[in-house]
Every structure is written in structure tokens, then in C-alpha cells.
Structure 1
Amino acid sequence: MAVFMVLLLALFLCQACQAYVVKCTIQYPHRPLHMYRQSGDYIIGGILSHGTFFSSSESFNEEPPPPLPEELLVVPKGYQHFLALAFAVKEINENPQLLPNHTLGFHIYDSYDNAKKTYHATMLLLSALGFFSPNYLCYIQNNLAAVIGGLDSEISLHVATILHIYKIPQLTYGPAPLMNDKIHGLSFYQMAPQERYQFAGILSLLLHFRWIWIGVIVMDNDNGEQFVQTVLPLFSRSGICFAFLERIAKLSFASESYNNIQKGAKMHDKVMGSTANIVMVYGESYSMAFLRWLPYLSELEDKTMNVKGKVWIITAQTEFTSLVFQRNWDSGMFHGTISFRIHFNDLPVFHQYVESRNPSSIEDGFIKDFWQQAFDCVFPNSIIGNVEGNICTGEEKLESLPGAFFEKSMTGHSYSIYSAVYAVAHALNMMSSARLRRIVYGERLKNQKRQFWQLHHFLISVSYNSTAGDEISFNQNGEVISGLDVINWIISPNQSFHRVRVGRMNPQAPPDQALTIDEDAITWHSWFNQAHPISVCTQSCQPGSSKKVKEGEPFCCYDCIPCPEGKISNQEDMNDCYKCADEDYPSKNRDLCIPKDISFLSYEEPLGINLAFFALSFAFITALILGTFLKHHDTPIVKANNRNLTYTLLVSLLLCFLCVLLFIGQPEKVTCPLRQTAFGIIFSVAVSCVLAKTVTVVVAFMATKPGSRMRKWVGKRLANTIVLSCSLVQAGICTLWLATSPPFPDVDMHSVTEEIIVECNEGSVTMFYSVLGYMGFLAFISFTVAFLARKLPDSFNESKFITFSMLVFCSVWLSFVPTYLSTKGKYMVAVEIFSILVSSAGLLLCIFSPKYYIIVFRPELNNREQLIRRK
């Protein structure tokens, strides 16, 4: 619509225009467009930014008010953009190998960051010099080859809407415009770093330094909204949280500045009051001029908060600039800023070119305004009346300007313009060479001077090495293929400004190697005392704890809770604790897994050694008693109560002590089945012998009564029957156990936290307790019979001793069951061994110690007379 209205205005005023010829000149009723021009065979148009911004309230339907000082917001640093284009053209024209027999010229207009001015300037580029005659050839032919511009995406879009009609290439040195369905199909050659690479670089930078809690400031426009909708979610999926999201308003009239000041004050307080130490800025070229307001807009009473440092991360589009009235403002808050910039090597020759600038240049329509704004002076011949303020002499030195005002070193934007001019020159050279070849081969060309739409074909295939040593080429989308430099801003107390390259972003490298950073080269804000800044919502959860997200808060804000029993976390900020492998167990602090010790009752530890010693000692005592009894086998005390039962009982007790050795040592496939079965059968034989002895005594005394039928049971046959029958029952139980579910070696990972228990799995627990139950049944019968026969008169009556021994036996095994069930690992085995030793020792000592005492120490009592007398 804007283009259509401009065309109507031109046609209405130029009623005398004929096709290809215009004989009228339009006078502009408002501020004229500045121009910087140089003639040549080929003209490059420049819609650049001098850093002068008009109010956004201007419209095509209203005449703007007379110019007032507060209408313009001047950024002198933008003047370098014009110098970069002029310098590139100068180098090309002085190079005989590039565009031979042709000269390159340029017409540069300031966009004023204004749609109306931009459309007007674009139409002027398409018209004859000095005439506003769109779509007409006025006086001479204007060989416009390409247009470079603009700095901001909206300006580039305004230019493209007109150039697209004429198929003239446009090379932008700012970010790509945001396209939609209504403006689809516009083509651009982008000289600026690709934003997707910048975003990937910023994300890699944040993750490298583990900055997961950041603030974000964006422009309040379509590009800023697209950034919020598409890029920030990608950051979130990578673990980045956002403490705040603020939007920068577009620069406007002073009449609207009060609202902007209020918004800026709130923004400053939110930024400086936030716990996030990192602030990412996605803005336009002039955003820095707005950010420099922030320290002066605080609504907080405590102004000491202004000294709090932040690490600012800024995209390549935003340069370190100042408005004219910000000349002496402190910029210390941006010291240590990290920004991105298109990769290039410095051009020392450009320094000399900049230093040679003089305000007396006639063709440069910008230099006087720049000079007056930069040096805060006026030229006497540029005003009427008395001069107020400093007089410009033209001898002022550019090196005296602060870095925020002007830099002699080429900036990223200027290098993009410089590269764009060279790209057009190489494309024109290729196109001229192609035409020359076609003429040589006899082809005729019509209107060859006007067919610059053919330049697109050559531009997309341009590839050359710049004078700075960088390779310049485009991909199939018209985007320059280039890496990015990571720049550290150094702002001294005297407000001098320096850039230090501290890293590189190489889009062609693998994603995990694309960003390289030299941490030691980075200078942080003084608030951090040159320590690595940390930016987290919550201090890291240490190993041994896990994160618990706070309800209603971003996922970076969480509480730290200790790991539950049996789980660990061995890294910071783990989302959950996890269990150790079965072979490991958690440490006391629950921050690492410790390998478990393999545990079994071995001969190498004191407990195993002591138990083995006692087992062997009692076995030796048993063998000694057995030997003594065998030696005195013809004595009355040995013959009393069935001598064979005595020997069988002693042998079974000896085996009971020795079977303890099966329980000590690492469980094996052979020892595990033998342990319980051997113990059960041997003990059953021992208890059966005790039962047989007791029954023999009872039957013998009952048989002495007149007419007793018990006499036929007196003798060895009854005792042997009792021992064999009782032992065979236990042997049958053990055989069934071994046949169905025998014991086997096993490991227990979980019963004891710090140990892997190597044990004998009983196989069938029912069979195990059946063996113990049967043995207990025999012991109970023996104890009952012995208790009833304890008062029978007999010099060598064993009933009293058997009663006491069985009392000990039953007590031991009754206490064994709960104790066995309440212990784990090798101590379960130790409890069973202890029960075997104590119960066996009880039988041995209670039954045989009195007899052994008489045989060895009182042999005079070991005779028949003593036996008969006692009876």
C-alpha cells in the first residue's frame, strides 16, 4: 500500500513526464534525504543506517511537523557503515583485475529507520540522479546493479517490496526479514551471520558455563515475538530456565518517552533484582542505546543495587552504540559482555581510510552531520545568526571519540557491507565475462545494460577470498557461509572500548565441537571478582540428594531432598536417586556405590577359627573318653546300661563335633547337601542312643517285678531296635529331602546391606524344619522317659544325668529357632554351629563325665561289690 501511494504521488506531480523521459523535479516539503554518492559504470545502491531515527507516528497521510531537535535520535557510530561501502568501492576500482574497463559507483541514502523514508530512498535509487521518476528513464540511464541494505529486518523488507518488481538483487547486512504468506517470494542475499547459528552458539555457551537460569530481553516486534515462540522453547528443552522476559519498545518521539521511561525503570529493577546473573538480549541495532538508559531509570530506593553485575549475552545484530546525549554516560554495567560477530580478520588499511576522512568532502552528505554530532560542535556556514556552542574546525581527531560513539576498527556490520560490495563486484565481473564470451561466439545482446536481473544467477555462485583472508560464498538459500566469533567487551573506567576475541562458532563442525571458547581470555564484570559467574535458580543439589521441583515454579527452581534408604545420587542436580547394582551398596552419605564384601564363615577369621577349635577340642575329648571306655570295657561301670549303646553314643557325639567343620568355609556343591543331612542323621543317632539307654533302665527295673512280662524285652535287642528304627526315620526324611529339593550353594545380595552372603540355600525349608522337628521330638521323648526314671535306685543309674543332659539339649534347640531366624549371613551358620557344640557337649559332659571321673580318678568305686552294695 505504501509503495502504491508513493507511485500515485509521483505520477500526479509529474504530469509532463513521458515514457523514458522526465523533465520535472520534485521538491520535498520535509527533511531531505542525506546522500553519499560516487559515479561509475555500475551503481550500487545503499539503504544504510546513519543511526538517525524518526518517530514511528509519521504516516503517509499526514505532513510531518517542522523538524525539532527532539525528533531525532542520532547514533553517530552508524556513519562507519557508509565508510565501509565507500572503502570497498575504492578498493575495487583500484584493482585492475576486478571489473577491468569498468568503474563501480554508489548512491547511499539513509533509511532513518522509517518506512516512508526507506520507500522514498529506494525509489530514488531507481530514478535518474536528482529526479524522482519511478519506472521512467529520465535523461540518462541509471545502471543500478544491486542494493545493499538495510540494517534492520523491517527496513530490508520495505526495500525488497520495490526491488522485487525490478528483479534487482538486495544484499542485507542485518538479520533476514520475517516473511509471511502475503510477502512470500521476496529474495535476499544475507551477509549477516545466520541467526540459527547464533542461537546454537548461545545455547552451547550457556551449557558450557552451566548457566541455566537466565533473563531474556527482546524487541517488541514481530522478530522478537518469533524468537520467543520458536527459540526459547528450544532452550527450555535443553534445560535452560527463564527468570524474566522483557520487551524493548521501539524508539519514538519525546512525547511518548515518559511511558518508555516508566517501562525502562521497571525493566531495570526486574533485571537487577533478579537472581539470574545472565541476561540474553535479542534486539535490533539500536537496542544498546535503550539498554544504556537502564542504570538511570531505577525506581528502587536502594541505589546500591545498580552496581550488581550481570553477564550480558548479545547477538551480532546489536552493536555497542550510544545516542548523542549519552556521550558521557557510564557504560560499566556492560563490561564483560559476550557477543557474537561474523568472523573476519581485521583490515588495517580501513583504519587509514577512516582517519583520512575530512568534513570538507562534498560528495559525502553525511559527514558534516556526523562531525557535529560526534564532536558536539557546529560549522559556522551551516547556520544563520549567532553560533552557540563549540565551532567545528575540521581538525578534530576521530581517535578521541569514545568507542560507543565511533570506532576506527571495522565492526561486524561494516564488514558485512564490505563483503556485500565485493560479492556484487565479483558477480558483475562474472556476468561481464559471460557476456563477452557470448559476443565472441556471435550472439547479439539486447538491452544488455538493463538486464541486471541476470545478476542473481552469478551472485548465488560467487566464491572469493576477501582481502582480509576470509572465504566468502553463498549457500543455495542466498545465505553467506561464515563462522561466528565470540567477542568479549572490555570497557575501561575511562569509557574506552575494546573487543577481545575469546572463541569461535564453526557451523560446519559437529554440534558438540562447533563452539570453542577460551575461558582464560574472558574478562568478567568486576562484580564477579574475575571468578566464573554462576547463574542458577537454586544452588546445585549435592551428591546424595535429588531435585524436587517447586510447584508453580520453573523446572530450574527446586528443593534438594536426601536420597531414600537404599538409593544414591553420584552427581549434582540429579532428577532422581537410583539403586546400586546388586554387587554394591550405598555409602553412608548416599553419594556412591561401594562394592560389597563377600561374606561366609571362613577359617581365616577369628569366629571361624574359634568354632573350629572348640569343635576339634570336644572331638578330642570325646575320642579320649571313648578310648578310656574301650580300655576299661570289662569294668562294671562300662558294662552297666548296655556297653554297645555307650560306644555308639560316643561315636555319634564324636561325629557331631566333626560335622561342625562342614559348616565352616565357603559353601560348595558337595558340602551344602552334606551339612544338614549329616547333622540331622548323626544327631538322631545320638538322641536315639540316649532314648535307648533310658528305656533300657526303665525296662530293666520293671522286669525285676514278679510275673512281669517285660523280661522278654530285657537285652540288647530292644536297644538296637530303638536306635535303628529312630535313625532310619531321620535317614528317610533326609533322603527325601535330597531327592526332591536338596541344599545348594547360593548368594544373598539383599539380606545384609554391605555384604554378599555366600550361603547354602536349604532348598526346601519344610524339609529342613522337618529334620529339626523330628530331632526335637526324639529329644522330648528321651527327656520325658529320663525324667520319669530319675529316682530309680542304681549305683550307676544314668537317668538323672540323662535328664539333665536332655534338659540342656532341649533348651539349646528351643532357643536355636528364634535366634536362627533373627540373624543373617555367616552369623546364622555360627548360631547353628554353636547349638550343635553346646547340645553335643551337654550330652557328653552330663552323661559321661561322672563315669570318666570314677574310671580315672576313683577306680576303687568301679567294682561289682560297690555296684551290688549300692543297689
Structure 2
Amino acid sequence: MRLDGSLTTLTFDFNACKIEYRSFHLPLPALTWISTDTWTDIAARDFRIMANVLMVTVESTEVPGFQTYLRGLNPFLEEFKDDPWLREIWEGEFGCEIGSLEDWESSRTCARHTLLENEKIAKSAVSPSIYRVYLAVYAVAQALADIERCKESQGLLADGRCPSVRRIKSWQLMKYLMAVNFTVGGIGRHVSFNRDGGIMDTFKVIQWHRCEDDEVPDPDCQIVRFVEIGIHKDGVLYMNESRSRWYDDDTNIDLPPAGVCQSPCPPGTRKVSRDGLPTCCFQCARCPEGSFTNTTGQLVCMQCPQGTWSDQNRSVCYPKTLDVLQWDEAVSVVVMCFCGLGMICTLMMLVTLTVYNDSAIVRASNREISYCLLTLLVVSFLEPFLYIGMPVAWSCNFRIALHSLNNTGVLAIFVVKTRRILDVFDTTWRGFSLRSRLRRTGLQVLIINVLMLVQGIIVTVYLIIQPSRVLLDQNISNSRVYVQCDSAILAFVAMYSYNAILACIIFVFSFRARKIPENFHETRYITVTMLFYMVIWVVSLPTYFSTTGKLQALMQIISVVLTNYLILGFMFLPKCYIIFITPERNTTQSIREQACGFRMGEINNTLVVQMDGEARRPSSRLSGSEHDIHGNHS
């Protein structure tokens, strides 16, 4: 056991101690044993296995008249002649035979010995154990005397009764024994007991010192020297550390052991009491996640402040990691590279179409509308940059507005393109159209603006009624704060529903016009583009709303970039291919031949082209269509 700053009472089986002593062969390091003076028998042996021993004993004095009594014990005296114990000690100790009283003269040498000549008996005469026995017998005698003097109605039993002296019971004797309060005559020692049965007396703390470690060897010291290093008096323990000597294994280190049953709990842990043990005996429990202790010996773990989390050692709280796309992250760099490359490609295509503005393939593809589409793609490639870095309220609202209006603009352009193609080539469709007026560039731009205005109204109403705000969600993860823009689901449904309606209209128009011989078969590319467009957004939208933090932003970026590259690849790359790789196809004659010589079946029983490749003379209706294709874009 270890010291805890106060005296500890031990119940110890000395016989068990002997067994353990014989079984141990190595020292027990850092152990401090607290014993009573009954352990002095061990001191006669090699006690190195004990390391440090503190012996607690009652302050004792010599029992008055005890040594005189020992000197008077003699088997040659008449009163002790029949004492076999005394006779056995005498003959064994002094080596003489005790004869009869008639042989007194012959045995006079043996008779002159006393028991105090025996070293063990002489030490026992002044030992604390004799003194304690003396006090115990005196206390019992005092209790019996109090019982004998007891008067009815003044006794310690119930209703003031007194126990019967002839039939006294053990619990009755104990009750009176606990109440004794007397002073031992001759030595002036006051004796009483506390409520736990402990004697109210002065205790001494004795430490065992090895004789071999003495600076000045004492020839009388063989193995152990008992040194008083403390005294417990009037409830206070006084220790003289300068007289103490401490051992670790076989070495004198002069460092006292820790003054507790367990070392203080380090930072990151808390003290947990152990059932059935003193308060100084505890165990250290690690603080739960999200709590900490930053000093030793803490009883409770403190909760980390909002927005922080404890480290692995639970000794300090660090700010939670913000789950947001940072500018220096690898994925952000890749995204910026793709966006930059997309803007460069878009600007190069825009420059190419501008340089070849008067070429047949550019005029046939409704060049003004194509310029608008490329401009929207440049803006759309800038949109992913709004999803990188720590969002703020204005960026959350701005990127929603930009994304919605940009998508609506692209879809509106496709609506106009497919509607114009149907108006030119589909005879049935032309029956209820505005005919040539819908093919004018100014009216087409007006339609695009009107379609975008409807989306603009939806976005404006949303931003006024319930604008987006930055949300820091700390409940999803213990170590991360998920940063995202908190937007109303109904507003998203309204904006995307409107774009979905436009996408469906485009898909229907382009699918209807898939066999029409329009310039470079642009309707086919529009059909494929819209098909992939719808697949991308149908897949990405549920994922976007089911994720948080940087993953949500990354999903939005991927959707935007994929859509932009899809439009570039299907709508403008074939035109650049014709301009730079096959310039022979970039002529008015070639475009006209594609429109007039394309293998077609009957379109609503009004337009028939011969299937064997020999072109018939086009009807006036077809001739008008050709003029619409090439004349209107010139």
C-alpha cells in the first residue's frame, strides 16, 4: 500500500506474510508497507523484499512494576514451584537442573538467575505490545468496575437498566467498554475510545532503515534500525522528512513515494471512485469525445465550447474542421483547370465563328443565336468558382440566380433553334405558326429574353421571400462543421420545374425534327444534348440535396462542367471540324445539297424526295424551304 497523508489501519495475517516472504525472490519496487509493531519478527531476517516499511505503533511507556515482577518470577520460590512453563524456560535458558527445596544449596547458582537475563524477554518487557495488553486489561477491568457500580435507572442499557454482573453479555460489556474514560495510575496516561472503537492515543511512525546504509556503522545494528520519523497527536500527523530514508528496489534514492493510492489523473482523464475502497483509491477514466480536462486530478470532464472538438488525448479542444472546398485543395485546382480550359475552348470557338461569320455553315446555324449561346457558356464556366471557398450570404444567393438564369438562357436558345427548324421544314407545323416572322433574329432574341424573364421573376420572388443563408451544421460530424447554403426546397422545385418544362419542349421539338435535313443535321445534336442534359440533372439533383458540405458543392460543379462540355462537344465542335478539317463542305452549294438531296420519306404526305438518290425537281414548297434555310441567314 501507499501513504495517503494519514494513518491507515491494516488487518494483516502475519502467518500469510511469512508464506509470501518465502515465496518471493525479487524485490517489489516502489512498494511501501504499513504495518504494526508485530512485524518486528521480520526485521530479524533479510527484509529486502519489503522495500520500504513504515511501522505504526502506539506511543508506549514501560508498564510500572513489570520488570520487578519479572525479576520475582523464580521456580525456586514456593509460589512458582508448580509452574511447568517457568521451570522449562529456566532449565532451557540457563542450562541447570532444578532440584527439590532440600537441594537449595546445591542449586544456589541456578537460583541466582532472573528472566531479564533472557534477551527476548528483556525486550518484551519494554515492548509496545506489553503496554497495549496492559491498557486492554485495564480498560476491561474499568468497564467491569463500572458495571458493578452501576445503579438502576443510570445504566447504559435501554431505559437506564444495568447489566447483571453474574450474567453479563458480550455486547453489554462492549457498550461499557466503549464508554470507559480513565487515567492509568502511575504513568498518567488518559485512556478513552472514539465511536469507531479506536483508542484516543498518540501514535508513532517508525521507519525501517538498513544498517548497511548507515554512514556511521553501528556495531549493535545487525539488519534493521527502527527510526522514528513521525508522530500522530491530537488528530495531526507530524512528519520529519529529514530522518526518512526511501528505497527503490535495492537502491537508496531518498525519494518518498506518491502520497496517494494512485497517481493523479493526467490531463484528458478524470477520477472515478472505486466501490468499496477509500476515496484516495480511484481509477482514471478517459474523457468522452467532445470533452476535455487540461489539468491533473480533475473530477469531471469539461464540455468543449460550441464549434470545437477535443483532440485525441482529450486534453485540449481545437476548432472543428470546416467542410468546404478550399482554393488550395487538389480537387479545387482540378476544377479550376477544367473551367479555365472550357472558357478557353469556348472563346476560341466564338472567335472562330466570328472570323468565319460569312461562311455557309455559320450562316446556316443561326449565327446570332449561336453567339449568344457561346457567351452564356463562358459565363457558365465561371459559375463553379462561386462554389469554392467559404460561402457568404451574397454568394449563396448570387450563384442560385446565376445558375437558374444561365440554364434558362441556354434552354431558351435551344427552344428557339428547334422551333425555327420545325417552322422551316415541317409543313404541317407551319400551318399554325407565325410563318416567316418567327424566323427573324430579333423576334427569336425577344422570345429568349421573355423565357429568361419568367425565370428571373421566380428567382426574384424567392430571394425576397426567403433568401439563402450560410448554414454551419455541427451535428452531422463530431470533428467537422459542414458549411452549406441553406435554400428553400420549394424555390428550387419552382426554378428547376420551369427549366424541366423548357427541356421537355426542346426534346419534343428536336425529336420531331430529327429527320429534317437541316444544316449539318443540328436537330440530331440538340436531341442528344437534351437527352444527356436531362440525365445529368435527374441524377445530380437528388445527390445534391442528399449531401452536405464540400461534397454538395462538388456535385453542383460537376453537373455544370459536364453540361457545358456536352453543349460545346455536340453543338460547336462539328462546325469547327467542317471549318478547319473539311472546308469543302463549308459552301452554300454543299449546304443546299444536304437540305435537298437528303434521303427522306414522306413528311405528312406533303414532301416527297426520291429514295433512289436521283433528285426530282423540287416542288415550289421545297424551294421555299431552301430559300428559308439559306436566304434567311445570309
TM-score interval, smaller chain: 0.5 to 0.7
2:434 aligns to what SS in structure 1?
helix
Post-superposition Cα deviations, 1:650-701, rounded to whole Å, max 9, x if no partner, equal 1111100012111122223442322222122112111211122111211222
For residue 569 of structure 2, what is the amino acid of its counterpart?
L
Post-superposition Cα deviations, 1:785-817, rounded to whole Å, max 9, x if no partner, equal 212211112233421111111112111111112
**Which among 374, 377, 391 is matched to residue 667 of structure 1?**
391
Say whether the 8 Å CA contact 1:625–1:852 is kept in structure 2: yes
Say whether the 8 Å CA contact 1:312–1:337 is kept in structure 2: yes
Say whether the 8 Å CA contact 2:37–2:57 is kept in structure 1: no
Post-superposition Cα deviations, 1:228-282, rounded to whole Å, max 9, x if no partner, equal xxxxxxxxxxxxxxxxxxxxxxxxxxxxxxxxxxxxxxxxxxxxxxxxxx8636x
Give the structure 2 partner of residue 756 of structure 1.
481
**Which among 69, 81, 91 is matched to residue 369 of structure 1?**
69
Alignment of 1:337-736 (within 5 A): 338=54, 365-371=65-71, 378=74, 388=87, 389=90, 390=94, 406=126, 486-488=205-207, 498-501=225-228, 521-522=245-246, 582-585=306-309, 596-702=320-426, 709-711=433-435, 712-736=437-461
Higher share in helix: 2
Offset at residue 736 of structure 1 (A): 2.2
Say whether the 8 Å CA contact 2:267–2:314 is kept in structure 1: no
How far apart are the structure 1 equivalents of 2:474 and 2:341?
A: 35
Offset at residue 304 of structure 1 (A): 5.7
Post-superposition Cα deviations, 1:440-463, rounded to whole Å, max 9, x if no partner, equal xxxxxxxxxxxxxxxxxxxxxxxx
For residue 373 of structure 2, what is the amino acid of its counterpart?
L
How far apart are the structure 1 equivalents of 2:243 and 2:376?
A: 81
For residue 455 of structure 2, what is the amino acid of its counterpart?
Q
Offset at residue 401 of structure 1 (A): 6.7
Offset at residue 847 of structure 1 (A): 0.8
Post-superposition Cα deviations, 1:824-864, rounded to whole Å, max 9, x if no partner, equal 42122111111100011111211111112222333332222
- Residues 831 and 671 from structure 1, CA distance in 2 versus in 1: closer, same or farther, beyond 3 angstroms? same
Give the structure 1 partner of residue 516 of structure 2.
792
Post-superposition Cα deviations, 1:552-571, rounded to whole Å, max 9, x if no partner, equal x8899999999988789999
Say whether the 8 Å CA contact 1:694–1:789 is kept in structure 2: yes
Alignment of 1:317-332 (within 5 A): none
**Which among 524, 528, 536 is matched to residue 804 of structure 1?**
528
Post-superposition Cα deviations, 1:542-590, rounded to whole Å, max 9, x if no partner, equal 989998999xx88999999999887899999999988755545566798
Post-superposition Cα deviations, 1:741-765, rounded to whole Å, max 9, x if no partner, equal 32333433343444333x3422423
Post-superposition Cα deviations, 1:383-419, rounded to whole Å, max 9, x if no partner, equal 67699414565796898778665369xx9999xxxxx
2:10 aligns to what SS in structure 1?
strand
- Residues 663 and 335 from structure 1, CA distance in 2 versus in 1: closer, same or farther, beyond 3 angstroms? closer
Alignment of 1:230-241 (within 5 A): none
Say whether the 8 Å CA contact 2:67–2:125 is kept in structure 1: no
Q: Does 1:833 align with 2:547?
A: no
Offset at residue 822 of structure 1 (A): 4.6
Post-superposition Cα deviations, 1:261-315, rounded to whole Å, max 9, x if no partner, equal xxxxxxxxxxxxxxxxx8636xxxxxxxxx7xx445x7x9x9669868997657x
- Residues 706 and 583 from structure 1, CA distance in 2 versus in 1: closer, same or farther, beyond 3 angstroms? closer
**Which among 494, 498, 510 is matched to residue 770 of structure 1?**
494
For residue 368 of structure 1, what is the amino acid of its counterpart?
T
Say whether the 8 Å CA contact 1:568–1:590 is kept in structure 2: yes
Give the structure 2 partner of residue 280 of structure 1.
10
Say whether the 8 Å CA contact 1:541–1:547 is kept in structure 2: no
Please report the TM-score for the alignment, with normalisation by the length of structure 1: 0.45
Give the structure 1 partner of residue 465 of structure 2.
740
- Residues 775 and 580 from structure 1, CA distance in 2 versus in 1: closer, same or farther, beyond 3 angstroms? farther
1:747 aligns to what SS in structure 2?
strand
Say whether the 8 Å CA contact 1:341–1:412 is kept in structure 2: no
**Which among 833, 837, 856 is matched to residue 580 of structure 2?**
856
For residue 476 of structure 2, what is the amino acid of its counterpart?
S
Offset at residue 592 of structure 1 (A): 8.1
Say whether the 8 Å CA contact 1:507–1:514 is kept in structure 2: no
How far apart are the structure 2 equivalents of 1:821 and 1:548?
A: 48
Task: Tell me the percent identity.
Answer: 22
- Residues 367 and 870 from structure 1, CA distance in 2 versus in 1: closer, same or farther, beyond 3 angstroms? closer
- Residues 596 and 507 from structure 1, CA distance in 2 versus in 1: closer, same or farther, beyond 3 angstroms? farther
For residue 865 of structure 1, what is the amino acid of its counterpart?
Q
Offset at residue 497 of structure 1 (A): 6.4
Give the structure 1 partner of residue 107 of structure 2.
none
For residue 488 of structure 1, what is the amino acid of its counterpart?
Q
How far apart are the structure 2 equivalents of 1:588 and 1:723?
A: 58
1:735 aligns to what SS in structure 2?
helix
For residue 741 of structure 1, what is the amino acid of its counterpart?
Q
Give the structure 1 partner of residue 539 of structure 2.
815
Instruction: Report the aligned-residue RMSD.
Output: 5.8
Give the structure 2 partner of residue 867 of structure 1.
591
Say whether the 8 Å CA contact 1:786–1:800 is kept in structure 2: yes
- Residues 704 and 340 from structure 1, CA distance in 2 versus in 1: closer, same or farther, beyond 3 angstroms? same
For residue 700 of structure 1, what is the amino acid of its counterpart?
V
- Residues 485 and 594 from structure 1, CA distance in 2 versus in 1: closer, same or farther, beyond 3 angstroms? farther
The structure with the largest alpha-carbon Rg is 2
How far apart are the structure 2 equivalents of 1:335 and 1:851?
A: 96
Alignment of 1:12-23 (within 5 A): none
- Residues 327 and 555 from structure 1, CA distance in 2 versus in 1: closer, same or farther, beyond 3 angstroms? closer
Say whether the 8 Å CA contact 1:279–1:311 is kept in structure 2: no
For residue 847 of structure 1, what is the amino acid of its counterpart?
M
How far apart are the structure 1 equivalents of 2:375 and 2:117?
A: 119
How far apart are the structure 2 equivalents of 1:597 and 1:279?
A: 54
- Residues 574 and 837 from structure 1, CA distance in 2 versus in 1: closer, same or farther, beyond 3 angstroms? same
1:791 aligns to what SS in structure 2?
coil
For residue 449 of structure 2, what is the amino acid of its counterpart?
L
Count, aligned residues: 481
Say whether the 8 Å CA contact 2:423–2:429 is kept in structure 1: no
Post-superposition Cα deviations, 1:2-23, rounded to whole Å, max 9, x if no partner, equal xxxxxxxxxxxxxxxxxxxxxx
Please say which of residues 303-312 and 606-615 is displaced more in the overlay. 303-312
1:796 aligns to what SS in structure 2?
helix
- Residues 678 and 535 from structure 1, CA distance in 2 versus in 1: closer, same or farther, beyond 3 angstroms? same
Offset at residue 624 of structure 1 (A): 1.0
- Residues 548 and 379 from structure 1, CA distance in 2 versus in 1: closer, same or farther, beyond 3 angstroms? closer
Offset at residue 643 of structure 1 (A): 2.4
How far apart are the structure 2 equivalents of 1:517 and 1:751?
A: 57
How far apart are the structure 2 equivalents of 1:562 and 1:202?
A: 25
2:520 aligns to what SS in structure 1?
coil
Give the structure 1 partner of residue 103 of structure 2.
none
- Residues 795 and 395 from structure 1, CA distance in 2 versus in 1: closer, same or farther, beyond 3 angstroms? closer
